[in-house]
Chain A
Amino acid sequence: MTVTRESAGATRDRYRLPMLTFVLVGSAVAVALGVYGREHEPAGYALNVVGFSGPLYVKTWLTTAAAVLAVVQLLTAGRMYDAAASDQVHAVHRWSGRAAVLLTVPVAVHCLYALGFQGGSPRVLVHSLLGCFLYGAFVVKMLVLTRRDRPRWVVPVAGGALFTGVIGLWLTSALWVFTTTGFHL
């Protein structure tokens, strides 16, 4: 394995265009989701799974599972950043991340399709904005991982944005459901 030492400035300059591209693509995704949520005529449909008290709680628990996996993501990411983490830690990070984002997809599809982008209350507005932001951040995180020549701050920032999005979404939805309608399946 060869090691090339170059200045921080050179790395940064060379990465400028790719970084800009990734962020633009992510932003486009976020905006597209917002526009779709706003323009699409909400059409109610049920997300019913046996064992849960209703569609709302299916979404609530899926979101909670994704939030728990996001915490796993944060902890494994911390190990990967500081020390030479084992391959298992890397594998857990990748697979918990994949599971987390796939779990959010049915929830997000229901939110967008059945409810749309709503601004009726601060909680709902923040949730709608974070929902769009989350998938933009996810796209950016995946794209920055495709190139090796990135400054060290890029992955932590992208991952941190993703983590913030998931937790913010959980706070504005699942936590609200649990505290207003009860903590149960």
Chain B
Amino acid sequence: MAIDVRAGQDGDVAMSTRGPLLTLASVVVLTGALLSVNELVGPSTAPTSSSSYTAPDDGAPTSAVPAAPAPSSEAAPPPTAEPASLQAVYSGRTDGREATVAVAVNGDRAAAYLCDGDSIETWLQGSATGDEVSLTGRDTAALTGTISGSTMSGTVTTSTGLSWQFSADQAQPPAGIYEARTTIDGLATRIGWVVLPDGTQVGIQNVDGTRSPAPRLDLDDATFTLDEAAHEATPIDGADTVVGR
């Protein structure tokens, strides 16, 4: 069977071969421009750093230097490189039980989350020096605390200016802060949980700015269900970045 090979085989004798390449180029240029705008303008919610926090209940201590800041329990805390640095999680409530607060300390870095399970939540991060911690967050959000024994107490202020005294006890996993990022109906969603020493969990999901109670977190494997699909939540370590630029 013979095939006619002639200029403009599809009947279009005027078609140049430049047109398709120009179209391709314009798509690439537009894509590059939009991506650059994204990078310049910045995301509206903070990207979370991939947490390197290893939950102690997933394996034996890896370092030869055993750390012993915590009382004995089913899971040993992760060994620290220098015996003097603190790696611990404190969780508790504000004095009037308005909200739950958890602070994760890793060496000289700290991250915290305040959450009332309804509409008030605040992410904070900062530093830990000796037995003092000082964290800040968006707008007026701030937390200062003093560690005495196995309890941290101090003052926490939300980004809207609400200020409370709080008291948090040092606790073993699964107590602490958890975070998850996913999408609901195509909108970027961030979910945070505080898990108290007694296993009570309080969380808020933030769907593009709209807050509501978070889904239940399975404390055995840090997963939760949303839209009938399983997702993973990440335990937050003191060195994690939780507050955006």
* A residues lining the B interface (CB < 8 Å): 1-8, 11, 41-46, 55-56, 59, 80-81, 84-85, 87, 90, 94, 97-98, 101-102, 105-106, 108-109, 113-115, 118, 120-121, 138-139, 141-143, 145-152, 155, 173, 177, 180-181
Contact = CB atoms under 8 A, between A and B. Distances in A.
Contacts of B50: 41
B70 interface: no
B48 A41 contact: yes
A26 to B, nearest CB: 11
16 contacts: A1-B6, A5-B4, A6-B3, A56-B185, A56-B187, A85-B11, A101-B23, A102-B27, A109-B35, A114-B43, A138-B27, A142-B21, A143-B24, A148-B7, A148-B9, A150-B9
Interface residues of B, number: 48
Contact of B2 (A6, A56, A150): A6
Given A97-B23, A109-B34, A181-B185, A120 B227 contact: yes
Given A7-B3, A45-B188, A149-B5, 8 more contacts: A1-B7, A3-B4, A41-B50, A42-B183, A43-B43, A85-B11, A120-B227, A146-B20
Contacts of A115: 183, 186, 188
B73 interface: no
Nearest to A115: B183
A165 B85 CA distance: 55
Interface in B201-219: 208
Contacts of A3: 4-6
Q: Which 8 A-B pairs have the closest CB atoms?
A: A44-B188, A43-B43, A145-B20, A142-B20, A142-B24, A120-B229, A109-B34, A146-B17
B12 A90 contact: yes
Contact of A105 (B1, B13, B17, B30): B30
A97 B208 CA distance: 33
B43 A45 contact: yes
Interface in B18-32: 19-21, 23-24, 26-27, 30-31
Given A90-B15, A109-B35, A4 B229 contact: no
Contacts of B23: 94, 97-98, 101, 142
B3 to A, nearest CB: 5
Interface in B38-56: 38, 41-45, 47-48, 50
Contact of A55 (B1, B6, B187): B187
B173 to A, nearest CB: 24
Contacts of A81: 10
A151 B3 CA distance: 8
B229 A114 contact: no
A3 B5 CA distance: 7
A108 B27 CA distance: 11
Given A41-B47, A44-B44, A109-B35, A2 B2 contact: no
B208 A44 contact: yes
Contacts of A8: 1-3
A124 B41 CA distance: 27
Contacts of A59: 186
Nearest to A87: B14
B182 interface: yes
Interface string B178-190: 0001110111100
A134 to B, nearest CB: 11
B145 to A, nearest CB: 30
Nearest to B207: A44
B35 A101 contact: no
Contacts of B17: 145-148
